[in-house]
Structure 1
Amino acid sequence: MSAKIIKCTTTDGRAIEFVDEVIGSGAMKDVYFSPDKSYVVCFFSREKNKFYESKAALEQQKDRLKEIVGNKWNGIFNGAGGAYWKNIFCWPDGLVEYNNLLGITAPAYKQQFFFEYGSKNNDFLKIQGKEKEGKWFASANNQNRFLDEREKGTWLNYLKICIQISRAVRRMHAAGLAHSDLSYKNVLIDPVTGSACVIDVDGLVVPGKYPPDVVGTPDFIAPEVVMTSHLSKEDPSRSLPSIATDKHALAVLIYMYLLYRHPLRGGKIHDMDDPQKDENLSMGGQSLFVEHPADPSNRVRAEQLKASQLPWADPSQIPYSVSGPYLTELFNKSFIDGLHDPAKRPSANDWETALVKTVDLIQPCQNAACSHKWYVFDNTTKPRCPFCHTPFSGKLPVLNLYSARQGGSFRPDNHRLMVWPGQSLYAWHANNMIAPNERLAPEQTRRKGYFVLHDERWWLVNEGLPDLTDAAAKTAIPIGSKIELSDGAQILLSKEDGGRLAVVQMVQA
């Protein structure tokens, strides 16, 4: 007998329906599908939520949710890039009261966020058809032991996933909101398409107005929150989830998605006799980056690792520097300078910028069997893939980008574009005033040029750059024609404000 369909209305009068059958139960809510499965209705269960115990707490929870599904929803989805955010957030859009329970409505997750293939050995974990919770992808052990190869994606796609998560966090923080429980449990990812979706947004904290429901998920809780968790919530010395603690969680998440290990879980033991005290110290007041260049006391001990964790869990085999110069600098700021000084932590915008620049540094691995397919090209040493150790061979143009300044001079932008066959040139490469984010006009998202290797010669084909000029010869390169890339060539990409000059450097390996 099929479950009955229940009809009710949201507090703002929208008619909704749900099938009276729980499809999932979390730490706070029970979830029901709409009949067409296009949205879900989630009720806060009475047993799991203390706010039902007092009228004042219930009213405060109602107010907070009204703000999230009302003003905050409108600000984000009816503002700049609203359509873009619908793919990146699973944001609740209605408040429901039914059967003396408080609930919310939210869009259902997109199909790519469910496992198409089960785990290894006849899906012994029974994950086929389940949500792609980030934890399955954030550890070497899970990657190596459990995941079907067809679910793993490429390293380039993990960079794209991290860009989307950084953007989502940047947008929440710009709206004055903290996620408060940013972790691999509350982000769905799909490495096959390079997509991410931030979920469980109903716990958002409005600092100073609505306090957090939770302190976070172990592994992602900032040290100052762990250190003061024994104090009461009213104690002014207690650190609660905030934008500053989100920044720590975001850094941990990016480190784990790119390197499949935790930045603070090393070999150091703080208390031999009390495992809980040891955990509190290693994640709290005495936490220490496992790859700290000056203090090796928390190094990962290779002899304690399982074969299924290698090589990723051993930083001596795959150091964090494989992420390239921009991300290495931010990992240092997060896990050395800002670990115990929240004011020094990089913002979500810093991460987004560094990740975008890192994508411009990557190169396809020349080994077709490489598990990761892409790597950051390191021109300071003999370039090779750090994942399968295949050396790069051939001739490679690197475009060093310079921006126009007042007086007609050009200054370096600390931004380079690695070239590979089929690599694209976009509006944001041609002009440093254009940022590749949700605000781009459709015209700005189109490719403006691409690179080809023909008979051992590299060319840039102009598809949409009206100002493209060979700066040394002072000759225009009209749309539809091409310019050869040779060592020292200077190519003006745009004459507009913020227009860039690309200086070509040829790497021979």
Structure 2
Amino acid sequence: MIKAGERLDSESGTPITVGDVLGAGGQGEVREGRTPDGRVVAIKWYLPPFQTDELRRNITYLVNEHAPSAKFLWPEDIVFKDGEFGYVMPLRPPDYVGLTRVLGRKVPMRFRQLVQAAGHTVSAFKALQAKGLFYCDISDGNLFVEPRTGDILICDNDNVGSSRTAPRVLGTPRFMAPEIVRNEKKPSALTDSFSMAVLLFLLLMNDHPLQGEAESRIHVFDAAAMRRIYGTQPVFIFDPHDASNRPIPGVHVNARIFWDLYPQAVRDIFTKVFTAGLADPARRPTFGEWEAAISATLDAIFACPHCKRENFYCATRRAATCWGCRKPMQVPMKLVIDGRRTVVLDRDTKLYAHHVNRRGDVVLTDPPLAEVAKHPEQDRYGLKNLSTLPWFVTPPGSQVATPVAPGRSVALVPGSQIEFNAVSAVIEQ
């Protein structure tokens, strides 16, 4: 193994100086490294059993492919010493924490940031598959989140495979697609889509989609039991036609609470992937379906005026009861876009290209074009134009449209109509 202070050669010709150990696992260890120009990086160095020509070829292939997006801590260079090798990747910033810490309630996150993290995760794996690659080993151990923003980073990308390379791993138990558990298929884009869905369910519901009453009845959770629950007889805990694996009160507490809180779009897409998509991989949701569901969920979030816990707007009721403090609350004003989409105008609301144009697809990585912003002097809020084009607003009872220049805001007045170039919207109470 390598030691602090040693100097490693690299395929690119840039020498890397080895620093302290950052972590260790079954394949090897990760150390800090430094380039001659002072850039701090991470070095993954493999234990002798993993020092194979096949692995080195795979890492070299990934280095040459380059990262699908900035969300991946991607191999950037091969380093070597005395016939052994490792690779260089970006160093994870300290404000990103492992998802397992969030799921263990050691790091709190609000609904908006959890949903944003889900959106970033979908966008990242969409970018990966657009390059003809698949991750093979999606799990809660490979995702890091920035709790304040919902941003994400994905690590352990040396397991990424493609049609040109044989998969090095089959996946992580509890996350593998049923067809892999049954030894019928190898990792692929379709199996990745299932593993991603399990990860998203854990992220949003803080429970596993296949672990309910059926799993709790098992006293010895051995390989045969795991094969049954996750492979041969998997049943979604909220399957609308099969109640044999429902979450148990007092055991699967998170799933029972959060499932009913989230909007129908979230419940529908999870139901699709964990019912039809269990038996038929081709019926698993597309990335576009995930992006649409996540965007609709972000549109529905608003904070309770009493306890500040976040809730989700439901169109079937004008008022609601906070799930946290149980007090009645009035839903904030809403923006109804082209009569087809409702966005709650809460203090953290942002609008994107898919809100204000007629483009059908949702791109969660687009920059915001509008945001709810507080008046600099008064205790009121407006919708601020972050785009490069003017809007036109017509106040209630008026026939005259006033331009709203980029950088300016329109007051949140019920009945006001806003023209966003391609679409029109009305502010409603």
TM range (shorter): 0.7 to 0.9
Are residue 241 (structure 1) and residue 200 (structure 2) matched?
A: no
Aligned match for 1:470, one of 394, 400, 403: 394
- How many Å separate the matches in 2 of 1:264 and 1:422? 33
What amino acid is the match of 1:312? N
Q: Write the mapping of 1:111-130 to structure 2, written as runs, cut at 5 A.
A: 111-113=94-96
Residues 43-83 of structure 1 deviation map (CA, whole Å, 9 limit, x = unaligned): 22113x3x63xxxxx1x32222112111234xx4xxxxxxx
Normalising to structure 2: TM-score of the pair?
0.86
**Alpha-carbon shift at residue 260 of structure 1 (Å):** 1.0
Bigger shift: 23-32 or 275-284?
23-32
Pairing of 1:138-217 with structure 2 (within 5 A): 138=103, 142-143=104-105, 147=106, 151-207=107-163, 209-217=164-172
Equivalent of 1:72 in 62, 66, 80: 66
Counterpart in the other structure of 2:413:
485
Q: Contact 1:360–1:416 (CA<8 Å) still a contact in 2?
A: yes
Match of 2:346 in 1: 420
Return closer, same or farther for 1:504/1:481 CA change in 2, 3 Å cut-off. Answer: closer
Q: Is residue 2:343 matched to residue 1:401?
A: no
- 1:448 & 1:455 partners in 2: Cα distance? 17
Aligned to 1:223: 178
Q: How does 1:342-353 map to 2 (within 5 A)?
A: 342-353=281-292
Q: Shift of the alpha carbon at 1:428?
A: 4.3
Q: Partner amino acid for 2:31?
A: Y
Residue 232 of structure 2 is aligned to residue 285 of structure 1: yes
Contact (CA 8 Å) 1:152, 1:192: kept in 2 or not?
no
Q: Hey, what's the Cα distance between the residues in 2 that align with 1:364 and 1:348?
A: 28
1:358-437 correspondence runs (5 A): 358-368=297-307, 373-381=309-317, 382-393=319-330, 396-402=332-338, 412-413=339-340, 415-421=341-347, 423-433=349-359, 435-437=362-364
TM (norm. structure 1) is: 0.74
In the alignment, the residues of structure 2 paired with residue 241 and residue 397 of structure 1 have an alpha-carbon distance, to the nearest angstrom, of 46
1:372-424, Cα deviation, whole Å (9 max, x unpaired): x212112324522334433213x63222222xxxxxxxxx54x3211135644
Seen in structure 2, the aligned counterparts of structure 1 residues 449 and 192 have a Cα distance that, compared at 3 Å, is closer
Aligned residues: 415
Change (3 A) 1:23 1:422: closer
Structure 1 residues 481, 215: CA separation in 2 closer, same or farther (over 3 Å shift)? Answer: closer
Aligned to 1:253, what secondary structure does the other structure show? helix
8 Å contact from structure 1 (residues 420, 451) kept in 2? no
Residue of structure 1 equivalent to 2:200: 254
Aligned equivalents of 2:386 and 2:226: distance in 1? 56
Alignment partner of 1:29 is 2:31? no
2: distance between equivalents of 1:239 and 1:481?
Answer: 54
- Distance change (3 Å), C-alpha of 1:210 and 1:387: farther
Aligned: 1:16 with 2:10: no
CA distance in 2, matches of 1:353, 1:447: 19
Identity of aligned residues (%): 23
Contact between 1:492 and 1:502, CA under 8 Å: does it hold in 2?
yes
Give CA deviations for 1:275-334 in whole Å, capped at 9, x if unaligned.
Answer: 32122111112100111122110012225x2xxx7x415x2xx15242212211211111
| CA shift for structure 1 position 460 | 4.9
- Alignment partner, residue 86 of structure 2: 103
- What secondary structure does 1:24 align onto? strand
